[in-house]
Copies of this chain bind each other. A is one copy, B any other.
Amino acid sequence: MIVLDYRDKRPIYEQVVDKLERLIVGGALEQDFKMPSVRSLGMELSVNPNTIQRAYNQLEQEGYLYTVSGRGSFVAPESEWRDGKKHRMLEEWKLVTQSAREAGLTREELVRELEGIFEGVKS
């Protein structure tokens, strides 16, 4: 399901959050999909269950998961997280773009890169 990169400097729980978030945003995990238990995912990744729990908690807080006590964690409907995610990404993107401008990158360069990244994507 996920592969951790031990050479990544971010804490493990954050990597887990990131990977799972991508799977959900990318549509690989559908609404109401039952997530593996913290224990079993911990086993699979050779990671302490506490670490998985922490990741699940954060995902729940950001609206990606919902928990039914005694039953487990499930993927939340897109409406729960879609706007928050888009909004946060846009804010981050604006900050980075601002910094890019200050570092001397031009509008033309960035537009060109943008075209490359969106190539073949229907908006």
List A residues at the B interface (Cβ < 8 Å): 6-7, 9, 11-12, 22, 25-26, 66-70, 74, 76, 82, 85-86, 89-90, 92-94, 96-111, 113-115, 117-118, 121, 123
- Choose among B69, B92, B100, B118 the residue that contacts A101 (Cβ–Cβ < 8 A): B118
Residue among A12, A68, A70 having the largest count of chain B Cβ atoms under 10 Å: A68
- Choose among B68, B82, B102, B121 the residue that contacts A25 (Cβ–Cβ < 8 A): B102
Flag if B105 contacts A93 (CB, 8 Å).
Answer: yes
Cα distance, A106 to B122, chains bound together (Å): 9
Shortest C-beta distance, A55 to chain B (Å), equals 14
Shortest C-beta distance, A4 to chain B (Å), equals 10
